[in-house]
Structure 1
Protein backbone atom coordinates (compact mmCIF):
# COMPACT_ATOMS: atom_id res chain seq x y z
CA UNK A 1 0.00 0.00 0.00
CA UNK A 2 1.29 3.43 -0.88
CA UNK A 3 2.42 5.72 1.91
CA UNK A 4 -0.01 8.45 0.83
CA UNK A 5 -2.92 6.00 1.14
CA UNK A 6 -1.84 4.97 4.64
CA UNK A 7 -1.53 8.62 5.65
CA UNK A 8 -5.12 9.34 4.61
CA UNK A 9 -6.24 7.59 7.80
CA UNK A 10 -4.17 10.06 9.82
CA UNK A 11 -5.59 12.91 7.74
CA UNK A 12 -9.13 11.76 8.52
CA UNK A 13 -8.33 11.82 12.24
CA UNK A 14 -6.84 15.30 11.96
CA UNK A 15 -9.94 16.49 10.08
CA UNK A 16 -12.15 15.13 12.88
CA UNK A 17 -10.05 16.89 15.51
CA UNK A 18 -10.21 20.13 13.57
CA UNK A 19 -13.99 19.86 13.17
CA UNK A 20 -14.46 19.15 16.90
CA UNK A 21 -12.23 22.09 17.80
CA UNK A 22 -14.15 24.35 15.43
CA UNK A 23 -17.45 23.28 17.01
CA UNK A 24 -16.08 24.08 20.48
CA UNK A 25 -14.90 27.45 19.23
CA UNK A 26 -18.37 28.18 17.86
CA UNK A 27 -19.92 27.21 21.20
CA UNK A 28 -17.45 29.41 23.07
CA UNK A 29 -18.20 32.33 20.73
CA UNK A 30 -21.93 31.88 21.30
CA UNK A 31 -21.38 31.81 25.07
CA UNK A 32 -19.30 34.98 24.87
CA UNK A 33 -21.99 36.65 22.75
CA UNK A 34 -24.71 35.71 25.28
CA UNK A 35 -22.65 37.20 28.12
CA UNK A 36 -21.95 40.34 26.09
CA UNK A 37 -25.63 40.82 25.29
CA UNK A 38 -26.60 40.30 28.94
CA UNK A 39 -24.03 42.87 30.05
CA UNK A 40 -25.28 45.34 27.44
CA UNK A 41 -28.85 44.81 28.66
CA UNK A 42 -27.83 45.32 32.29
CA UNK A 43 -25.94 48.50 31.46
CA UNK A 44 -28.89 49.82 29.48
CA UNK A 45 -31.28 48.97 32.32
CA UNK A 46 -28.89 50.67 34.77
CA UNK A 47 -28.84 53.85 32.68
CA UNK A 48 -32.63 53.81 32.26
CA UNK A 49 -33.18 53.31 35.98
CA UNK A 50 -30.80 56.14 36.86
CA UNK A 51 -32.68 58.39 34.45
CA UNK A 52 -35.99 57.43 36.09
CA UNK A 53 -34.52 58.26 39.50
CA UNK A 54 -33.26 61.60 38.22
CA UNK A 55 -36.69 62.45 36.87
CA UNK A 56 -38.36 61.22 40.05
CA UNK A 57 -36.16 63.42 42.24
CA UNK A 58 -37.43 66.64 40.69
CA UNK A 59 -40.36 66.58 43.07
CA UNK A 60 -40.54 65.76 46.75
CA UNK A 61 -39.02 62.34 47.49
CA UNK A 62 -39.26 60.45 50.72
CA UNK A 63 -36.01 59.37 52.32
CA UNK A 64 -37.06 55.71 52.28
CA UNK A 65 -37.78 55.87 48.59
CA UNK A 66 -34.40 57.46 47.89
CA UNK A 67 -32.65 54.84 50.05
CA UNK A 68 -34.50 52.07 48.19
CA UNK A 69 -33.36 53.48 44.86
CA UNK A 70 -29.79 53.73 46.03
CA UNK A 71 -29.84 50.17 47.39
CA UNK A 72 -31.24 48.88 44.11
CA UNK A 73 -28.58 50.77 42.11
CA UNK A 74 -25.89 49.28 44.37
CA UNK A 75 -27.25 45.77 43.76
CA UNK A 76 -27.42 46.46 40.05
CA UNK A 77 -23.79 47.64 40.12
CA UNK A 78 -22.81 44.32 41.73
CA UNK A 79 -24.73 42.35 39.11
CA UNK A 80 -23.02 44.34 36.35
CA UNK A 81 -19.59 43.70 37.90
CA UNK A 82 -20.37 39.99 38.04
CA UNK A 83 -21.55 40.04 34.42
CA UNK A 84 -18.29 41.77 33.44
CA UNK A 85 -16.28 39.01 35.13
CA UNK A 86 -18.35 36.37 33.36
CA UNK A 87 -17.76 38.11 30.04
CA UNK A 88 -14.01 38.18 30.69
CA UNK A 89 -14.06 34.47 31.55
CA UNK A 90 -16.05 33.71 28.39
CA UNK A 91 -13.49 35.70 26.38
CA UNK A 92 -10.66 33.62 27.87
CA UNK A 93 -12.52 30.39 27.06
CA UNK A 94 -13.13 31.62 23.52
CA UNK A 95 -9.46 32.55 23.07
CA UNK A 96 -8.30 29.18 24.36
CA UNK A 97 -10.77 27.44 22.03
CA UNK A 98 -9.43 29.52 19.15
CA UNK A 99 -5.87 28.44 19.95
CA UNK A 100 -6.89 24.77 20.10
CA UNK A 101 -8.71 25.08 16.77
CA UNK A 102 -5.79 26.91 15.16
CA UNK A 103 -3.41 24.15 16.25
CA UNK A 104 -5.76 21.48 14.88
CA UNK A 105 -6.14 23.45 11.65
CA UNK A 106 -2.37 23.74 11.24
CA UNK A 107 -1.87 20.03 11.93
CA UNK A 108 -4.53 19.06 9.39
CA UNK A 109 -3.11 21.48 6.84
CA UNK A 110 0.41 20.15 7.43
CA UNK A 111 -0.82 16.59 6.93
CA UNK A 112 -2.51 17.66 3.68
CA UNK A 113 0.73 19.15 2.42
CA UNK A 114 2.74 16.11 3.50
CA UNK A 115 0.37 13.77 1.65
CA UNK A 116 0.67 15.92 -1.47
CA UNK A 117 4.48 15.70 -1.25
CA UNK A 118 4.24 11.93 -0.75
CA UNK A 119 2.00 11.59 -3.80
CA UNK A 120 4.37 13.68 -5.88
CA UNK A 121 7.31 11.50 -4.75
CA UNK A 122 5.31 8.35 -5.48
CA UNK A 123 4.48 9.74 -8.93
CA UNK A 124 8.14 10.51 -9.61
CA UNK A 125 9.13 7.03 -8.42
CA UNK A 126 6.47 5.42 -10.63
CA UNK A 127 7.54 7.49 -13.64
CA UNK A 128 11.19 6.56 -13.06
CA UNK A 129 10.23 2.89 -12.78
CA UNK A 130 8.23 3.06 -16.01
CA UNK A 131 11.06 4.88 -17.76
CA UNK A 132 13.52 2.21 -16.60
CA UNK A 133 11.20 -0.50 -17.93
CA UNK A 134 10.97 1.30 -21.27
CA UNK A 135 14.73 1.72 -21.40
CA UNK A 136 15.27 -1.97 -20.56
CA UNK A 137 12.76 -3.01 -23.22
CA UNK A 138 14.42 -0.78 -25.79
CA UNK A 139 17.83 -2.16 -24.83
CA UNK A 140 16.60 -5.75 -25.24
CA UNK A 141 15.13 -4.91 -28.62
CA UNK A 142 18.43 -3.45 -29.75
CA UNK A 143 20.41 -6.46 -28.56
CA UNK A 144 18.06 -8.82 -30.38
CA UNK A 145 18.34 -6.93 -33.66
CA UNK A 146 22.12 -6.93 -33.66
CA UNK A 147 23.63 -9.88 -35.46
Structure 2
Protein backbone atom coordinates (compact mmCIF):
# COMPACT_ATOMS: atom_id res chain seq x y z
CA UNK A 1 0.00 0.00 0.00
CA UNK A 2 1.04 3.60 -0.50
CA UNK A 3 2.50 5.59 2.34
CA UNK A 4 -0.43 7.13 4.24
CA UNK A 5 1.32 10.49 4.36
CA UNK A 6 1.89 10.45 0.60
CA UNK A 7 -1.72 9.41 0.05
CA UNK A 8 -2.97 12.29 2.19
CA UNK A 9 -0.74 14.65 0.24
CA UNK A 10 -2.24 13.35 -3.01
CA UNK A 11 -5.75 13.78 -1.58
CA UNK A 12 -4.95 17.35 -0.54
CA UNK A 13 -3.55 18.16 -3.99
CA UNK A 14 -6.53 16.54 -5.73
CA UNK A 15 -8.92 18.46 -3.47
CA UNK A 16 -7.14 21.70 -4.31
CA UNK A 17 -7.33 20.90 -8.04
CA UNK A 18 -11.01 20.04 -7.69
CA UNK A 19 -11.73 23.29 -5.84
CA UNK A 20 -9.91 25.30 -8.50
CA UNK A 21 -11.80 23.48 -11.25
CA UNK A 22 -15.09 24.20 -9.47
CA UNK A 23 -14.15 27.88 -9.26
CA UNK A 24 -13.35 27.97 -12.98
CA UNK A 25 -16.68 26.24 -13.70
CA UNK A 26 -18.52 28.84 -11.65
CA UNK A 27 -16.75 31.64 -13.50
CA UNK A 28 -17.64 30.05 -16.84
CA UNK A 29 -21.29 29.80 -15.81
CA UNK A 30 -21.38 33.44 -14.72
CA UNK A 31 -19.71 34.54 -17.96
CA UNK A 32 -22.22 32.54 -20.01
CA UNK A 33 -25.11 34.12 -18.14
CA UNK A 34 -23.70 37.57 -18.93
CA UNK A 35 -23.34 36.74 -22.62
CA UNK A 36 -26.93 35.50 -22.72
CA UNK A 37 -28.14 38.69 -21.04
CA UNK A 38 -26.37 40.74 -23.71
CA UNK A 39 -27.91 38.60 -26.43
CA UNK A 40 -31.38 39.03 -24.94
CA UNK A 41 -30.85 42.80 -24.76
CA UNK A 42 -29.84 42.91 -28.42
CA UNK A 43 -32.79 40.78 -29.51
CA UNK A 44 -35.16 42.87 -27.41
CA UNK A 45 -33.78 46.08 -28.84
CA UNK A 46 -34.12 44.74 -32.38
CA UNK A 47 -37.72 43.69 -31.77
CA UNK A 48 -38.51 47.08 -30.24
CA UNK A 49 -36.87 48.92 -33.12
CA UNK A 50 -38.73 46.80 -35.68
CA UNK A 51 -42.06 47.42 -33.90
CA UNK A 52 -41.37 51.16 -33.82
CA UNK A 53 -40.54 51.04 -37.53
CA UNK A 54 -43.80 49.20 -38.26
CA UNK A 55 -45.82 51.84 -36.43
CA UNK A 56 -43.94 54.65 -38.20
CA UNK A 57 -44.41 52.91 -41.53
CA UNK A 58 -48.17 53.04 -41.08
CA UNK A 59 -48.02 56.82 -40.99
CA UNK A 60 -45.62 56.94 -43.91
CA UNK A 61 -41.82 57.15 -44.06
CA UNK A 62 -39.35 58.46 -46.58
CA UNK A 63 -37.02 56.33 -48.65
CA UNK A 64 -34.07 57.61 -46.60
CA UNK A 65 -35.75 56.53 -43.36
CA UNK A 66 -36.49 53.13 -44.87
CA UNK A 67 -32.88 52.75 -45.99
CA UNK A 68 -31.61 53.82 -42.54
CA UNK A 69 -33.87 51.24 -40.95
CA UNK A 70 -32.55 48.49 -43.23
CA UNK A 71 -28.93 49.42 -42.50
CA UNK A 72 -29.49 49.62 -38.76
CA UNK A 73 -31.45 46.34 -38.63
CA UNK A 74 -28.64 44.74 -40.64
CA UNK A 75 -26.12 45.95 -38.07
CA UNK A 76 -28.29 44.67 -35.23
CA UNK A 77 -28.65 41.30 -36.96
CA UNK A 78 -24.87 41.12 -37.36
CA UNK A 79 -24.38 41.99 -33.68
CA UNK A 80 -26.97 39.37 -32.69
CA UNK A 81 -25.24 36.71 -34.80
CA UNK A 82 -21.88 37.61 -33.25
CA UNK A 83 -23.35 37.51 -29.75
CA UNK A 84 -24.93 34.11 -30.50
CA UNK A 85 -21.46 32.83 -31.37
CA UNK A 86 -20.14 34.28 -28.10
CA UNK A 87 -22.96 32.55 -26.20
CA UNK A 88 -22.18 29.24 -27.90
CA UNK A 89 -18.48 29.60 -27.06
CA UNK A 90 -19.43 30.33 -23.44
CA UNK A 91 -21.60 27.19 -23.35
CA UNK A 92 -18.73 25.16 -24.80
CA UNK A 93 -16.44 26.56 -22.10
CA UNK A 94 -18.94 25.51 -19.44
CA UNK A 95 -18.96 21.96 -20.78
CA UNK A 96 -15.16 21.85 -20.91
CA UNK A 97 -14.84 23.20 -17.36
CA UNK A 98 -17.52 20.80 -16.11
CA UNK A 99 -15.66 17.87 -17.68
CA UNK A 100 -12.39 19.00 -16.09
CA UNK A 101 -14.07 19.39 -12.69
CA UNK A 102 -15.59 15.92 -12.98
CA UNK A 103 -12.18 14.46 -13.81
CA UNK A 104 -10.65 16.19 -10.78
CA UNK A 105 -13.46 14.93 -8.55
CA UNK A 106 -13.03 11.40 -9.89
CA UNK A 107 -9.30 11.52 -9.11
CA UNK A 108 -9.93 12.90 -5.61
CA UNK A 109 -12.53 10.22 -4.91
CA UNK A 110 -10.13 7.53 -6.15
CA UNK A 111 -7.50 8.73 -3.70
CA UNK A 112 -10.11 8.80 -0.92
CA UNK A 113 -11.00 5.20 -1.75
CA UNK A 114 -7.34 4.21 -1.66
CA UNK A 115 -6.91 5.92 1.70
CA UNK A 116 -9.99 4.15 3.07
CA UNK A 117 -8.69 0.79 1.85
CA UNK A 118 -5.25 1.49 3.31
CA UNK A 119 -6.80 2.42 6.66
CA UNK A 120 -8.94 -0.74 6.59
CA UNK A 121 -5.87 -2.87 5.84
CA UNK A 122 -3.93 -1.15 8.62
CA UNK A 123 -6.80 -1.68 11.04
CA UNK A 124 -7.10 -5.36 10.07
CA UNK A 125 -3.37 -5.84 10.58
CA UNK A 126 -3.59 -4.11 13.97
CA UNK A 127 -6.55 -6.29 14.99
CA UNK A 128 -4.64 -9.43 14.02
CA UNK A 129 -1.62 -8.25 15.99
CA UNK A 130 -3.78 -7.55 19.06
CA UNK A 131 -5.49 -10.94 18.71
CA UNK A 132 -2.12 -12.65 18.51
CA UNK A 133 -0.98 -10.83 21.68
CA UNK A 134 -4.19 -11.82 23.46
CA UNK A 135 -3.74 -15.45 22.38
CA UNK A 136 -0.13 -15.46 23.61
CA UNK A 137 -1.18 -13.89 26.92
CA UNK A 138 -3.95 -16.47 27.35
CA UNK A 139 -1.56 -19.28 26.50
CA UNK A 140 1.02 -18.03 29.03
CA UNK A 141 -1.63 -17.60 31.68
CA UNK A 142 -2.75 -21.17 31.13
CA UNK A 143 0.85 -22.42 31.40
CA UNK A 144 1.41 -20.59 34.70
CA UNK A 145 -1.79 -21.99 36.20
CA UNK A 146 -0.58 -25.57 35.72
Normalising TM by the smaller chain, what interval?
A: over 0.9
**Residue of structure 1 in register with 2:113 after alignment:** 113
CA distance in 2, matches of 1:91, 1:101: 15
| CA distances 1:2-30 after superposition (whole Å, capped 9, x unpaired) | 94344111111110000000000001101
> How far apart are 1:141 and its partner, in Å?
2.1
Number of paired residues? Answer: 145
The alignment partner of 1:61 has SS state of: coil
Q: Unpaired runs of 5+ in structure 2?
A: none
The alignment partner of 2:87 has SS state of: helix
**Residue of structure 2 in register with 1:104 after alignment:** 104
| CA distances 1:78-114 after superposition (whole Å, capped 9, x unpaired) | 0000000001111111100000000111111121122
Q: TM-score, normalised by structure 2?
A: 0.94
CA distance in 1, matches of 2:143, 2:129: 21
CA distance in 2, matches of 1:60, 1:91: 43
Q: Provide the aligned C-alpha RMSD in A.
A: 1.3
Work out whether 1:61 is the aligned partner of 2:73.
no
CA distance in 2, matches of 1:128, 1:24: 47
**Residue of structure 1 in register with 2:131 after alignment:** 131
**Residue of structure 2 in register with 1:144 after alignment:** 144
> How far apart are 1:143 and its partner, in Å?
2.3
Matches within 5 A, 1:65-104: 65-104=65-104
Q: TM-score, normalised by structure 1?
A: 0.94
**Residue of structure 2 in register with 1:19 after alignment:** 19
